[in-house]
Amino acid sequence: MAKSIMAMMAKIQSAPRPPQHVEEIKEPDEKEKKFIKLLHVSMEFGMPGVPGTVAVGGIGSVVYSLCQAQKVHEHFIDARVIIPYYEALHKDLTDFEEIQEIHHLYADQSVRSMILKKITDEGIVQYFVKPLEPIGIQLFNDIHIPELIYSNGWNGSKFIERISYFSSAVSEFSCTGEPLFKPNIVQGHGWALSFLGKLIRKRREENLEEKPYTVYVVHSIHDGDGIFLANEVPILKQNRNSAEPIR
């Protein structure tokens, strides 16, 4: 019995095997590569102790970590970030590339801003909105320490005016992008950027564009956060009662 089993096994092992089919792995073409182009929008970006980054609390760290995690999957997602350019806080950064000068609306007037670009040591593409008009320069240059990012500035510049200016600039850049990067998803971080979706939607409708789409993430909720009077918001001045709160 044992001999017959051994003979059968030997016969099976010696029998010719059908050729193994090995499927060739093809590199994705350019159309398939990085079909998600994601632009994170935040008032801060970085981790405590990381040179060249600006972080106040959790939002900056979360956005920084998200970009790092998405970098691992860069074969199908191109994740980048845009924040304001704070001259006092970014004074040690060098090697900026000027991408483009954009024109956008703020307080019922057309203003100019420069979009700067820098790649971090981890390979994350970071954009900055740098105002070119005195009205915007004063707003952002008034921030001398990170703790002032979410409050009124050193010399009295208003936080709501600063986020209004920044949101207006980002809405323009997110719809124009640069030659090799036009986002199809814009993710705003924090209640301060809640106006962004409205501005992008308006910009998209005016130009009959389908993209980008917006995602809004509230990282924290505190009583009173994100409540302003209509006449305090330079980018949303419409036919509203000035005493009516905007949430």
Q: Is the pTM of this model over 0.85?
A: no
In DSSP notation, 178-211 reads: BTTB--SEEEEESGGGTTHHHHHHHHHHHTT---
- What gap in Å lies between CA 124 and CA 81, rounded to an integer? 8
Q: What is the mean pLDDT of each run of 10 residues along the chain (247 residues)?
A: 51 50 50 76 86 80 91 88 92 87 89 94 92 89 86 83 92 87 91 85 75 81 54 53 43
pLDDT of residue 126: 94
Coil, helix or strand at residue 8: helix
Give bridge partners of residue 100 from the DSSP assignment.
Answer: 115
pLDDT of residue 82: 96
